[in-house]
Amino acid sequence: MVKKMYGFILFSVFALVLAACGSDADSSGKSKDESASDSGDSANDEVEIFSWWTGAGEEDGLLALIDLFEEKHPDIKIKNAAVAGGAGTNAKAVLATRMQGDDPPSTFQVHGGAELNEGWVAADKMEPLDDFYKENDLMDKFPDDLIDLVSKDGKIYSVPVDIHRGNVLFYNMKVFEENDIDVPKTFDEFIAAADKLQDAGITPLALGDKEGWPATQVLENILLGVLGPDDYNKLFAGEIEFDDKRVKKAIDQFDKMLDYVNDDHASRNWQDSAQLVANGEAAMINMGDWAKGYFNNDLDMETNKDFGYFAFPETDGNFVVITDTFGLPQGVDNPDNVKEFLKVLSSVEGQDAFNPLKGSIPARVDADKSKYDEYGNDAMDDFNDSRLVPSLAHGSAASEGFLTKVNQAVNIFVTQRDADNLIQALKSAAAEL
């Protein structure tokens, strides 16, 4: 009922806007056609960019990208239709209403992988971009594994603008130094370091799973470490069962890691848990590398002085990809103008205008490394040299329906620590695959 009422309100507001704009004359007494002719503008000259980029860094990056586009195309107006709140949840709800009502924005932010392919492509709401890629010489500018994430049934449907890494641990360098802790590369080394930190009165691993997904992110990285990239992909493709003994091993490892997290994890979001690391109350946090931007910009910490970073244990050589992409929805009035925006977004210049401000790295393999800091350069090297795998926690590895059930099951496990129940929940959720 709430969803129906929400949709009705949105429809009513949209109808009122249409009614307000529906007069045949503007305030000057001219018809719409006359006014458009005089000004040289029309609705087709506007490109509406729909996203959830309203926070520090990400909004700066988007505005820089828009400025670059308007500099190159002063005749095309940009409408920044960003929707704030909920780490994208609010924006996705509004987008769903619009797409289902055949009122798509010109282009919209969507994670590569299942969120794109099993969502909007499967619903026949997107136009293929194979010709766009060929015309703009893009086929060799992105890694093949990344192009696979934005493709379905052999056709390409969106353009990646950024890359974040999910299998990275950030750590307080002073805490590690004072407690003589080496960077752990294996699960056993992690447990040994965690025991030492805990004995010193320091929380080894900060967790803030108030929103659910940070705990799922930890589990996905353990699964990658235990299964390896090929079987990790097979697991979320439904080709390996969730009662596989290696999945059980990963869940047991997850259970051990949870012995070392802060007691108040359920009341903290990821920023709150990162604050524990910044304060030296906790030693490490597994978070996407947007945490690096948070440490730098919000907490005024210096990379490789105040905090360091390393690949999640036993996942070195793999890169868990979270990528924001933009495509061409079916039924837009101005596909040529949208493609001009995608052309800027996909260019070296566009990606290098956007990513240093957002704190991400470019999706292109030929970007200008001098524009990125030490972490960015390390991440770019790893991105180019590692095996790329999609993130479950961020909607790339499996469908939204599956992820919702996994987040619920993981949340229960973190509280109850019942491995058998988690496995059964995962097996049940696998029907969504």
Residues 234-260 have pLDDT tens digits of 999 999 999 999 999 999 999 999 999
Whole-number pLDDT of residue 25: 38
Token pair belonging to 416: 């109850």
Give me the numbers of helices (H) and strands (E) for the chain, helices first please.
Answer: 18, 14
Closest CA to 228 of 74, 387, 91: 387
Rounded Cα distance between 164 and 363, Å, is 9
Token pair belonging to 211: 């929103």
Top pLDDT among 420 and 4 is at 420
Token pair belonging to 143: 């890694």
8 Å CB contact between 78 and 70:
yes
Handedness of CA 405, 237, 148, 291 (dihedral sign): positive
Whole-number pLDDT of residue 86: 67
Whole-number pLDDT of residue 195: 98
pLDDT for 414 beyond 70: yes
Rounded Cα distance between 140 and 134, Å, is 10
pLDDT for 116 beyond 70: yes
Rounded Cα distance between 197 and 175, Å, is 9
Whole-number pLDDT of residue 319: 97
Rounded Cα distance between 207 and 290, Å, is 15
Handedness of CA 234, 236, 241, 242 (dihedral sign): positive
The domain spans of the chain are 44-161+323-381, 165-321+391-432
- Pairing assessment for the beta strands 168-172 and 387-390 based on DSSP bridges: unpaired
Amino acid identity, residue 172?
N
Average pLDDT rounded to a whole number, residues 219-232? 98
What digits encode the pLDDT tens for the residues 2-61?
Answer: 333 334 333 333 333 333 343 333 433 433 334 333 334 445 689 999 999 998 789 999
The arrangement of secondary structure in 44-161+323-381, i.e. its CATH architecture, is 3-Layer(aba) Sandwich (3.40)
Average per-residue pLDDT in the chain? 90
pLDDT for 117 beyond 70: yes
Whole-number pLDDT of residue 176: 98
Average pLDDT rounded to a whole number, residues 162-175? 98
Average pLDDT rounded to a whole number, residues 409-430? 97
Whole-number pLDDT of residue 43: 54
What digits encode the pLDDT tens for the residues 181-192?
Answer: 999 999 999 999
State the fold for domain 165-321+391-432: D-Maltodextrin-Binding Protein; domain 2 (3.40.190)
- Percent of the chain clearing pLDDT 70 (strictly above): 90
Average pLDDT rounded to a whole number, residues 294-316? 95
Q: What is the pTM of this model?
A: 0.85
Whole-number pLDDT of residue 1: 40
Give kind and range of the element (H or E) at residue 102.
none
Top pLDDT among 38 and 391 is at 391
How far from chain centre, in Å, is Cα 126?
19
What digits encode the pLDDT tens for the residues 256-301?
Answer: 999 999 999 999 999 999 999 999 999 999 999 999 989 998 899 9
Whole-number pLDDT of residue 5: 38
Q: How confident is the model at residue 96 (pLDDT cuts 50, 70, 90)?
A: very high
Amino acid identity, residue 174?
K
Average pLDDT rounded to a whole number, residues 355-372? 94
